[in-house]
């Protein structure tokens, strides 16, 4: 997902799987890059996708912010895959998504203080702050998640969840 106008390439969430004509090619490139990187376990390879180009821009030797959506869409435990890979056991094939999963980070539109206790947030909210935590305009506050059988269904559900959460601020 695109970041804000101030940070158009900043991480603000993700949708899994990627709906793009070159998604298979991107996955092939990622596997080749990972295999030649010398790294072991779960790593992240960031791509910039524009209407005309795809570019690999970075390799991160750590778990990525997309862990939640990848696990939700595929039903695979990435920490288990990481553990196994560090012991020399690689999966036989790529995990296959069975649905769409989305996560959007909600940034404060104004300075605010969280009024709700952690247990009062809906189950589709993660990265929940403690009641009384103060945020400045532009700070990341919570993440909102959704799952759907189709891309449009997932995004529609995510938008509904975001609307409900924004009313809690």
Residues whose CB falls within 8 Å of the CB of residue 62, separated by 6 or more in sequence, listed in order: 42, 43, 44
- Segment holding 115, helix H or strand E: none
Helix boundaries (H) for the chain: 23-37, 67-74, 78-86, 151-166
Domain end residue (candidates: 63, 86, 109): 86
- pLDDT confidence of residue 52: 82
- pLDDT confidence of residue 9: 60
The answer to the question of residue 150 being in a domain is: yes
Q: What are the CA-CA distances from residue 100 to residues 39, 46, 88, 103, 159 (Å)? A: 28, 20, 30, 10, 14
- What's the pLDDT tens digit per position in 104-154? 999 999 999 999 999 999 999 999 999 999 999 999 999 999 999 999 999
Cα distance between residue 29 and residue 121, in whole Å? 39
The two structure tokens encoding residue 165: 């959460």
Domain that holds residue 117: 100-166
Cα distance between residue 129 and residue 90, in whole Å? 36
- What's the pLDDT tens digit per position in 18-45? 988 889 999 999 999 999 999 999 999 9
Q: Is the pLDDT of residue 2 over 60?
A: no
| pTM confidence score | 0.86
The percentage of residues in the chain with a pLDDT greater than 70, rounded to a whole number, is 94
Residues 157 and 115 in one domain: yes
Instruction: Report yes or no: 128 and 144 within 8 Å, Cβ to Cβ.
Output: no
Cα distance between residue 152 and residue 66, in whole Å? 19
The number of folded domains in the chain is 2
Q: Is the pLDDT of residue 158 over 60?
A: yes
The answer to the question of residue 18 being in a domain is: yes
Cα distance between residue 71 and residue 43, in whole Å? 14
Domain end residue (candidates: 86, 109, 124): 86
Cα distance between residue 18 and residue 107, in whole Å? 23
Cα distance between residue 105 and residue 56, in whole Å? 23
Domain end residue (candidates: 86, 113, 136): 86
Average pLDDT estimate for 50-73: 90
| Average pLDDT score, the chain | 91
C-alpha dihedral (90, 95, 101, 104), degrees to nearest 10: 30
Residues 76 and 110 in one domain: no
């Amino acid at each position: 997902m695109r970041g804000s106008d101030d940070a158009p390439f900043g991480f603000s969430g993700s949708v899994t799987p990627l709906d793009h004509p070159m998604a298979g090619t991107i996955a092939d490139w990622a596997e080749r890059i990972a295999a030649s990187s010398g790294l072991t376990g779960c790593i992240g390879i960031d791509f910039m996708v524009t209407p005309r180009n795809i570019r690999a821009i970075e390799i991160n030797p750590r778990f990525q912010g997309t862990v939640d959506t990848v696990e939700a869409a595929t039903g695979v435990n990435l920490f288990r895959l990481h553990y196994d890979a560090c012991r020399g056991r690689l999966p036989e094939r790529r995990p296959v998504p069975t649905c769409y999963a989305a996560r959007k980070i909600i940034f404060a539109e104004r300075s605010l203080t969280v009024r709700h206790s952690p247990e009062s947030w809906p189950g589709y909210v993660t990265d929940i702050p403690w009641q009384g935590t103060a945020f400045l305009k532009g700070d990341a506050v919570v993440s909102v998640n959704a799952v759907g059988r189709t891309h449009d269904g997932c995004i529609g559900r995510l938008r509904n969840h975001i609307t409900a959460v924004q009313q809690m601020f």
